[in-house]
Amino acid sequence: MDLNEFVFELYGEEIPARFQLSAQAQFHDLFIKMSGEKGLKVENTRTYITPQRLILRACVSAEIPAQTINKRGPRLDAPLKAIEGFCKSIHVPPEQLEKREGYYYVTYTIPAEDAKDILPGVMNETLLAMSWPKTMRWPKSPTPWVRPVHHAFAILLGKPFIFSLPLFNLKTTDHIFGHRFLAPKALFPSSFSDYKNQLIDSFVVIDHKERQALIHEKLKKEAESHQLTLIDDQKLLEETAGLVEYPGIFIGRLDPKLFGAPEEAITTSMRFHQKCFAFRDPTQKLAPFFAAIINTIPKDGGKALTQGYEMGMLKARLEDARFFYEQDLKTPLIAYKPKLDGIIFHEKLGTVGDKLKRLHHMASIFSSTKDYLNLSRAIDLCKSDLLTHMVGEFAELQGIMGEIYARQQGETEDVSRALREYYQPTGAGDNVPIAFLSVTLGLLDKIDTLTGFVGHGILPTGSKDPFALRRTALGILRLLFNQGEETDLTKLITLSMEAYALHHRPLKEDTLNNILSFMQTRLVFLLKEEGFPHDVIQACLPTLDKGLSFDCAMIRAKTEAFTVLLKAQEGKDLISGFKRACSIVDTESKKDNVTEYTFSIQDLVLKSEIGLYAHLEKVQRYLTDLPLTQKNLSKWFSELASFVQPIYTFFEDVIVNDPDPILRRNRLGLLSQVIALYQSLADFRKIE
């Protein structure tokens, strides 16, 4: 079938940079979906986005071919009303019905539909289905959208394709416009490559990724020509590519005297407030240069905009940063501690001062260790930087400034570093710290936060998680995964609840269970993300019972070990033997309506059942002396795998459902004991 090229552009006012990439993907997926629903065949769909344009290019079939439908109606002996009803519903008189194999049938043809008649509906449906995080209304349009749109363009098979877009009260046209400032004139492309090239000539790069690459290239080139190295910033690269249709670049100089504040403060201000890139000089120091991605190519070579860029907001911000830094250094971090009693952490959870008291209470379990003094010091200082001028101005510098000020003021290296690291991990790709102080402080702080919110009935719902509790929970899990043994969440939460009772108010009774279920969901999520199979994960989860331990690292270790072991033949045999045992015990206990079978050695008769019992006893004795730790996991697994042969032999030689009820009951009892032994390691019943 012939495929025709279809190009569509929706043109309007600047779409926020942070929405663009997902909008591009949505537009693509929705177009394919809506075409499919209407029966229109499309191929090679590509979408593009600039701050002002939403673009689509696809190859669409010229038509939906005619279809012959053969529809079955009521039985030949159906009441007249049913037959009449059928005829009415398909608009066919009874005479035209066919009779076949006891039923009425009707054959009719749906005529071919021209793509020209279908595409407008597809485009309207596609755009209507798009969802933006925020939309607005404007006078001309009946439909809210991210920002006003004023113009549309479409061509089909090289010719202007004019149709209505009632959702915006617009009509497509035969032209587009070049860059708003550099080449605003109308253009009349007749193919996609024409469209793309005419726009490039008019200073518009339609592909987001291409703009990113262009920006990166220009930055690298400028860096080289000034003997500098670019400080890479992927997020800023993406953002700036969403702020321009054509990435021009401006390199400006900074007065080195402005560099009084620490590097992190300077680059944060440059990146966050001014959307500028920073560089390093050959000695790896921060270079007195910045790069701005501009939406123009100044004819005067940048003379006019230099003033604004070099003397404007960036300079003012860096001066502020330097001023704040100098002021902050005058106050030792510990001096802020009493003020924290006046800062509310959350209206339900008391002050930051209360939080510190609770952290101290939890930390007391380490009082006999050599790190205890440092841990106490780190707790005392960890929230101080929130009250500094610098963090007051640049909230994202929390922790970073803590470390810098601590070091400057003579705190130990471990304590200083912990003040920054204890926030980590903050997101999926973030580093997980390994230093004892950082990990411990991080765990205690996160657990205190999670316990407090859940203990007051605040849990995330659906899409609302204003206190980022999911992220906190994931952080706790990733910290615990890195620990060796002793990662019992139950113990930690119980300790935290104690702290709340002492230094704020007691929490609800069911807090522990609520947190554990919440954590369990997050745990399953993390393990699934790592690629572990669903059934293995479920098998390794503990039963959530008050008081029972919830050892996160162990759960992960089990999941990891079993995923590997169960792929091998030995693992497969182990499961099949287990399943065989379960199957017969479950079936029989249902028939008998009992929950368990008793077992006694003296009722063992055949060699294989004695052999199975002997093996069971041997393994039980061995495992009693082998604690279930991460190190011993594979040994435990091997012991269970060793049942494969005895079980196989048992089922070969022994008839479980022996006519003798004593023998039968005993054999079921023996199998139950084997099952119980397996279940003490993991819930093997969940393995598929």
Taking the complex as a whole, the smallest distance from the CB of residue 231 to another protein amounts, in Å, to 18
Q: Which is nearer to another protein, 377 or 383 (CB)?
A: 383
Angle at 165 between CA 163 and CA 168, to 5 degrees: 150
Residue 419 CA to residue 384 CA, distance in Å, equals 10
H or E stretch including 71?
strand 67-75
Task: Tell me which long-range contacts 542-546 makes (C-beta under 8 A, separation of at least 24).
Answer: 544/513, 544/516, 544/517, 544/520, 546/512, 546/513
Taking the complex as a whole, the smallest distance from the CB of residue 189 to another protein amounts, in Å, to 23
Residue 178: C-alpha distances to residues 5, 188, 212, 217, 593 (Å): 22, 11, 20, 23, 80
Q: Which is nearer to another protein, 36 or 298 (CB)?
A: 298
Q: Which is nearer to another protein, 77 or 300 (CB)?
A: 300
Taking the complex as a whole, the smallest distance from the CB of residue 163 to another protein amounts, in Å, to 20
Ramachandran sector of residue 547 (left: φ over 0; alpha: ψ -120 to 50; beta: rest): left
Query: Which residues lie below 8 Å from residue 10, measured CB to CB, with a gap of 6+?
Result: 53, 54, 55, 127, 149, 151, 152, 165
Q: Which is nearer to another protein, 12 or 74 (CB)?
A: 12
Taking the complex as a whole, the smallest distance from the CB of residue 209 to another protein amounts, in Å, to 20
Q: Are 176 and 187 in contact (CB under 8 A)?
A: yes
Q: Which amino acid is at 612?
A: L
Residue 333 CA to residue 381 CA, distance in Å, equals 6
The residues that bridge with 344 in the sheet, in sequence order, are 351
Taking the complex as a whole, the smallest distance from the CB of residue 325 to another protein amounts, in Å, to 17
- 287 Cα distance to chain centroid: 36
Q: Which amino acid is at 29?
A: D
Of 216, 204, 213, whose CA–CA distance to 245 is shortest? Answer: 204
Residue 184 CA to residue 539 CA, distance in Å, equals 63
Total length of the chain: 688
Taking the complex as a whole, the smallest distance from the CB of residue 483 to another protein amounts, in Å, to 37
Taking the complex as a whole, the smallest distance from the CB of residue 179 to another protein amounts, in Å, to 10
Q: Which is nearer to another protein, 394 or 643 (CB)?
A: 394
Q: Which is nearer to another protein, 16 or 542 (CB)?
A: 16
Taking the complex as a whole, the smallest distance from the CB of residue 279 to another protein amounts, in Å, to 17
Taking the complex as a whole, the smallest distance from the CB of residue 236 to another protein amounts, in Å, to 13
Q: Which is nearer to another protein, 311 or 468 (CB)?
A: 311
Taking the complex as a whole, the smallest distance from the CB of residue 206 to another protein amounts, in Å, to 18
Which one-letter DSSP state was computed for residue 335?
G
* Pair of tokens at residue 589: 């206990």
Residue 271 CA to residue 292 CA, distance in Å, equals 10
Which one-letter DSSP state was computed for residue 398?
T
Q: Which is nearer to another protein, 16 or 158 (CB)?
A: 16
Q: Which is nearer to another protein, 4 or 274 (CB)?
A: 274
Q: Which is nearer to another protein, 249 or 604 (CB)?
A: 249
Q: Which is nearer to another protein, 203 or 684 (CB)?
A: 203
Taking the complex as a whole, the smallest distance from the CB of residue 683 to another protein amounts, in Å, to 48
Taking the complex as a whole, the smallest distance from the CB of residue 250 to another protein amounts, in Å, to 7
Q: Are 309 and 349 in contact (CB under 8 A)?
A: no
Q: Which is nearer to another protein, 185 or 621 (CB)?
A: 185
> What is the three-class DSSP state of 286?
strand
Alpha-carbon Rg for the chain in angstroms:
35
What backbone torsions phi and psi does residue 488 show, to the nearest 5 degrees? Answer: -75, 110
Of 523, 387, 379, 514, whose CA–CA distance to 452 is shortest? Answer: 514
* Pair of tokens at residue 303: 């003379």
Q: Which is nearer to another protein, 147 or 280 (CB)?
A: 147
* Residues making contact with another protein (CB under 8 A): 13-14, 16-18, 51, 134-140, 147-148, 150, 181-182, 243-244, 248, 250, 274, 276, 292, 294-300, 303-305, 307-309, 311-316, 343-344, 347
Taking the complex as a whole, the smallest distance from the CB of residue 75 to another protein amounts, in Å, to 57
Q: Are 517 and 661 in contact (CB under 8 A)?
A: no
